[in-house]
Structure 1
């Protein structure tokens, strides 16, 4: 596509939608590279002129994005990459500032915003972390030659730095209402970085590579950071259902997040996860395959191999593309089916890989030499290998003239060669032999599926394909063609955006809890004469930990609580599900601090050392029946345990296998609801990796009700919690007769978390930071000195 064609296609975005209505909707598409190869021409009269040609590779991606032009204003953010002048290739970082500005002006006409990177940044990001760490891992290749710790640290820092650069550029062009669509593993930290900068941004992420199972992905040292970076998106798309399932499993097993049929529950916010198989631009392929030059080249190829059946393979020379497996299978085919010797040729085209592998090239050459020496002659060469980037004419001619398309990738994400082969076989009906490990395998069920490691099986598939009756070939081809022409690159792009808009619509329909208004809180706190401050413990004053006994308070947090209780205007309570002993051991040194233990079963007033048992008159015989059920599931769920309290009993499964533990918890809850609830005055609380059974009449809300009754003159209330049990506190406060402007019910978690609270903060650390703000503000320290939370 030349520059005049590009300006025409991009101009459509600002005109009108198909129904004639103008639109200002924008998508900011973010890819590692911009979609153009810039070429610089310098003349004495006209100065610097830029010629933009469509970048080779990822044509399906760019076709899908361009198809949205009719309804969206498409903007594009990406790294410039190498720039060509009339003599040689130069790095974009070596351009003068004037050249950069002139190129930016040229790209701006096509709504392309370039990201400029220094050589060290690009090397550490792309050749370092992307290609030596992420790419092998995503393709199930563990690192044989691990880099030293210093180099690994530098590459990770450069990966973060480049992702930050992209985030800065997105923020420069972002407008409220924009969709941001981020592509592939080069930019996995951008969603989280952008979410922190623009909390309400609509962010989609699509991974074009495979995504590995948790057994492989957990080998990544930065696994938590990468997963959390991805979870900044509203929606994450993958090539196949299995890749999407692998991602949710990783989030469950590594981060401890719950998964749902629609995605991952990330701190109360659901991140949609799903498969979106990519397609190709069938209109472009149909036009190109019918060019006169292609037809001429097809005739030339047939003349080169008269009377021969032609098998075509076209791959990058990467380990995962299965070229070695293909050659060994072809060797096995000629050995097991000698009747096909001198009648079948394999034309294998391998384009150079991004990272050269002399060892792989040597092995390929040795296998080809062995096959040709064993089965060839002066008149017959079984394997013809072309190790270069073929032009489109040769490529489409080969796909069109072939009798079999052979793809034996051992791991592949977006393999569009298979789709292009199907488009080019509309007259010949040549069968497609496809590795079951490609991302397209699940979509192309009418192809002949093979395990590339089973050389005998692949050899048999080749023989079967050659002997397939014409009518059966036609039927299989029509099934494949129907899928390819209906699931195009355009369909892929529209499906992803449609699903993203749908998920955003659902999110918008839920109540979004605003972030805690700290300036107003400080103002109300300062003016109040009688204050009540209520804090949950786990997940509020301390982070959630895998082992409950390790949730030890920090010295800093204890100092801040003491500062609060020292103020005579304050009444401070910790209202927790913890037992008396734990609260006393961890927080007992804080003077004038009130305690409620076991969800309101026990009280200790701020001015007393005596615990009050509120369950003395309640029948607790039900605990034996619950204990039997919990014991049954503990024996059958490795890593689970039972915690006994005086008024409740809890089954923990945080250290069990995440998926099996969640399954067992549902089974246990169903059993409790059918066997215990109908006949006993108890309720079941499904918490964070636990099930708790407690008396119905005892809860945190009752404690808050008692405190408010004893403090009729209270004129400031702050209540913070993260769990379902804390909703009882929020509910009582909201239903009280207190004016709305004097209480601040605050949940810890995502903004769209279902809650009775009127405010939210994201983490327990922000709760501590807020307490620090209160203490410092009360002591006369300004907000600027304290710092933003």
Structure 2
């Protein structure tokens, strides 16, 4: 439900030399939506182009989106980029595009710029092919589809150009929904170091549907230009299943990219994939539902239906909203439960869709007439349909007096109507009947879930809701209200931005990771008094070898470790994926080392003989299922083998044919993520020629967090690693409160490797040489 406000300006202010005449602060978010959040209106004769006066009204709909964005304004400058949409004259009639002269556009551009709104001007044919065509129409004709795709590309390119015009280094770009899926990659080509987020408000298609799209590769590559992609959460798919569908079936199979539990490795850059369920502006709704205007209208509605139970439905008149299914289910309810006839009324409000469907409207009218003719009388009609945009006071009054909220969408996004209904039911405790195909079904567990196609099931749910005892209604409502008031629109926006920033570092986004500055490193090392040194093993302290059992420690590395650990100011930890026995056999002679085995599953503190098992309270029965899958692929991949550890299982294919091994690894990973991840508490690590399955929430980053909490006196940290599992350590350090200039995250690999590390070296031998230099620096302090 949209809200309205009016902004007026008699004359545009002059430009100040910055893009579009806008004063620019340091922290800016450029919010990119299909349409700008306002409807511009002229307040004088359009022929007076030299002195045009403008008024803005907030566009109807998307109040949750704009409330979330607005909540960021205390810390960020919010800018909006979007299609200008219809512009109205003084009589509130749309102005024909042919009348938009350059002077006219300039006047409106400058007026909007003062509100930090940057319009994108599109020809009617462009907008039609983009929106009504490619975004909204199923492919039926190859020529039409080709034209629609060309317009979709063209419009996305226009948006990318407009954003690039106003972009300044340090800006955060947040792109919204399926209308602009190509924009992230287009921007990445123009602005390689930009921070880009993409949020999909609509349900993402299932893989079977999406793979039918002729331009599926182009769309996926367009999306993967973002640093972070956010999705809604759906009940019929777990969070892991959603990511599995997008990452594995789409990105892995269609594009051939490798995936991780946290995202997709797209040409060396990790694109984060995360869930962000949207909410509503609870503060605004709480305030408005209690206004005298709403209260008086509540009284009026009750007087219209005295003694009746009121069922409320409010939907856009769109096929996916399930209005037809709702009416058929209500018909079934009155048929199966005749005791409720003349006692229950359904009030269905439908707002016009952007693309009208006369056939759908006619079908709704037929069903309403059928229900009233069958179960109504001269004195009473059990079904009422209002097909128009009702004002906000009427809307909140209707939600507040309802005894049941009925939502039967057959495919939907989050459906914020369900959240607004909960907010309005704080006195009545009316149950919510919710389609399992809405995005909110995954979060509102206390609602009565239904399959909208099961008319008998929906009818039974209505009867059950009407008979629900008041104590149970109150308990369910309080559970729903707790979720709604916590996961607000503000919480959604702030969570998305916070997580996006957590995945970004300006060094990460540059094409080159600088070589380790050893002079700076040794200077900091010498000036510090309490140091923590963290080392991965394979690929960091020793080179990667074809046979893991042959990665024995070289003598010069053991000597460097021993001398470093002898310094009382140093604490040395080996944080490895190796098992306990291997670490003790190879490195146990260095008594003052701390060990983390199996990626953080087991810990042994320096000079201790006791291993701490961090997985002892975790169910490990999943290993049997994973072992069965690994065995299947081992039998079919010559040269591969399984390494079984106490808390994880690893499938190695380093000895297999390179191309066939990589192919089998992708197939194995697809199978694991489809069959194992959705139902078991584990995650998959894709390493160098191996796949490892381990418990969720056990990783090297958690080890770093534990050590930092136990060592508050630290003033120097050195952390070295070479693969994705080590990125968890780098991420934990970057998110910690430890001063940036007092820790060194070093990755082993090429300078163009995408990493969260701030420095790189080329080989494990360089790591050992650096260790030797730290030993010498420590000795010079003593001397």
What TM-score bracket applies, with the shorter chain setting the length? 0.5 to 0.7
Quote the offset at 1:756 in angstroms.
6.8
Q: Distance in 2 between matches of 1:406 and 1:156?
A: 37
Cα distance, 1:688–1:151 mapped onto 2, change above 3 Å: farther
- 1:162-188 per-position Cα deviation (integer Å, ceiling 9, x unaligned): 111111111111111110001111110
Question: Residue 157 of structure 2 corresponds to which residue in structure 1?
Answer: 164
1:237 is aligned to 2:244: no
Cα distance, 1:278–1:503 mapped onto 2, change above 3 Å: same
Q: Distance in 1 between matches of 2:631 and 2:470?
A: 60
1:58 is aligned to 2:66: no
1:37 maps to which of 25, 36, 39: 39
Cα distance, 1:225–1:754 mapped onto 2, change above 3 Å: farther
Quote the offset at 1:649 in angstroms.
4.0
Cα distance, 1:468–1:6 mapped onto 2, change above 3 Å: farther
Question: Residue 278 of structure 1 corresponds to which residue in structure 2?
Answer: 278
Quote the offset at 1:256 in angstroms.
2.0
Q: Distance in 2 between matches of 1:659 and 1:262?
A: 19
Quote the offset at 1:455 in angstroms.
1.2
Q: Distance in 2 between matches of 1:6 and 1:259?
A: 51
Cα distance, 1:247–1:339 mapped onto 2, change above 3 Å: same
Q: Distance in 2 between matches of 1:335 and 1:754?
A: 69
Q: Distance in 2 between matches of 1:25 and 1:261?
A: 31
Question: Residue 257 of structure 1 corresponds to which residue in structure 2?
Answer: 257
Cα distance, 1:42–1:5 mapped onto 2, change above 3 Å: closer
Cα distance, 1:662–1:128 mapped onto 2, change above 3 Å: closer
Question: Residue 577 of structure 2 corresponds to which residue in structure 1?
Answer: none
Quote the offset at 1:390 in angstroms.
1.3
Cα distance, 1:191–1:91 mapped onto 2, change above 3 Å: farther
Q: Distance in 1 between matches of 2:191 and 2:435?
A: 42
- 1:178-226 per-position Cα deviation (integer Å, ceiling 9, x unaligned): 1000111111001000001110100000111001221121011100110
2:203 maps to which of 210, 221, 226: 210
Contact preservation (8 Å) 1:415, 1:440: yes
Cα distance, 1:377–1:75 mapped onto 2, change above 3 Å: same
What do you get for the CA RMSD once the two structures are aligned? 3.5
Cα distance, 1:24–1:334 mapped onto 2, change above 3 Å: same
Contact preservation (8 Å) 1:311, 1:404: yes
Question: Residue 705 of structure 1 corresponds to which residue in structure 2?
Answer: none
Quote the offset at 1:246 in angstroms.
2.9
SS in 2 for 1:284: helix
1:97 maps to which of 95, 102, 118: 102
Cα distance, 1:60–1:93 mapped onto 2, change above 3 Å: farther
Contact preservation (8 Å) 1:317, 1:352: yes
Contact preservation (8 Å) 1:237, 1:276: yes
Quote the offset at 1:648 in angstroms.
5.7
Structure 1 segment 417-432 matched on structure 2, within 5 A: 417-432=417-432
Quote the offset at 1:438 in angstroms.
0.2
Q: Distance in 2 between matches of 1:263 and 1:186?
A: 22
1:364 is aligned to 2:371: no
Quote the offset at 1:653 in angstroms.
5.2
Question: Residue 174 of structure 2 corresponds to which residue in structure 1?
Answer: 181
Question: Residue 29 of structure 2 corresponds to which residue in structure 1?
Answer: 27
Contact preservation (8 Å) 1:431, 1:448: yes
Q: Distance in 1 between matches of 2:462 and 2:9?
A: 43
Question: Residue 522 of structure 1 corresponds to which residue in structure 2?
Answer: none
Contact preservation (8 Å) 1:212, 1:246: no
Number of aligned pairs?
A: 548
Question: Residue 118 of structure 1 corresponds to which residue in structure 2?
Answer: 123
Q: Which runs of 5+ in 1 are unaligned?
A: 8-21, 133-142, 517-631, 668-683, 691-722, 725-744, 760-789
1:130 is aligned to 2:135: yes
Larger Rg: 1
Q: Distance in 1 between matches of 2:496 and 2:363?
A: 41
Q: Distance in 2 between matches of 1:749 and 1:231?
A: 17
Q: Which runs of 5+ in 2 are unaligned?
A: 11-23, 234-238, 516-627, 641-653, 676-685, 693-722, 725-748, 764-783
Contact preservation (8 Å) 2:229, 2:273: yes
- 1:144-164 per-position Cα deviation (integer Å, ceiling 9, x unaligned): xx3322221111111111111
Cα distance, 1:666–1:339 mapped onto 2, change above 3 Å: closer
Contact preservation (8 Å) 2:262, 2:273: yes
Structure 1 segment 587-598 matched on structure 2, within 5 A: none
Q: Distance in 1 between matches of 2:483 and 2:674?
A: 39
Question: Residue 693 of structure 1 corresponds to which residue in structure 2?
Answer: none
Which structure has the higher relative contact order (CA within 8 Å, separation 6+)? 2
Quote the offset at 1:364 in angstroms.
1.7
Instruction: State the TM-score, normalizing by the size of structure 1.
Output: 0.64
SS in 2 for 1:78: strand
Quote the offset at 1:363 in angstroms.
2.1
Contact preservation (8 Å) 1:248, 1:259: yes
Cα distance, 1:358–1:243 mapped onto 2, change above 3 Å: farther
1:248 is aligned to 2:247: yes
SS in 1 for 2:439: coil
1:350 is aligned to 2:343: no
- 1:526-584 per-position Cα deviation (integer Å, ceiling 9, x unaligned): xxxxxxxxxxxxxxxxxxxxxxxxxxxxxxxxxxxxxxxxxxxxxxxxxxxxxxxxxxx
Question: Residue 374 of structure 1 corresponds to which residue in structure 2?
Answer: 374
Q: Distance in 2 between matches of 1:470 and 1:501?
A: 45
SS in 1 for 2:381: coil
Quote the offset at 1:508 in angstroms.
4.1
Question: Residue 201 of structure 1 corresponds to which residue in structure 2?
Answer: 194
Cα distance, 1:75–1:221 mapped onto 2, change above 3 Å: same
Q: Distance in 1 between matches of 2:217 and 2:245?
A: 15
- 1:425-454 per-position Cα deviation (integer Å, ceiling 9, x unaligned): 111111110111100111111111111111
Quote the offset at 1:665 in angstroms.
12
Contact preservation (8 Å) 1:280, 1:419: yes
1:660 maps to which of 665, 668, 671: 668
Q: Distance in 1 between matches of 2:216 and 2:759?
A: 31
Question: Residue 713 of structure 1 corresponds to which residue in structure 2?
Answer: none
Structure 1 segment 690-729 matched on structure 2, within 5 A: none
Quote the offset at 1:47 in angstroms.
3.5
Q: Distance in 2 between matches of 1:444 and 1:84?
A: 40
Cα distance, 1:643–1:476 mapped onto 2, change above 3 Å: closer
- 1:66-117 per-position Cα deviation (integer Å, ceiling 9, x unaligned): 1111111111111110101123112556412111111111111111111111
Cα distance, 1:129–1:653 mapped onto 2, change above 3 Å: farther
Which shows bigger deviation, 60-69 or 38-47? 38-47
Quote the offset at 1:291 in angstroms.
2.1
Contact preservation (8 Å) 2:514, 2:751: no
Q: Distance in 2 between matches of 1:232 and 1:48?
A: 40
Quote the offset at 1:317 in angstroms.
1.2
Cα distance, 1:172–1:503 mapped onto 2, change above 3 Å: same
Q: Distance in 1 between matches of 2:31 and 2:86?
A: 20
Question: Runs (4+) of structure 1 moved beyond 3 Å?
Answer: 1-7, 43-47, 91-94, 242-245, 507-512, 632-644, 653-667, 684-690, 745-759
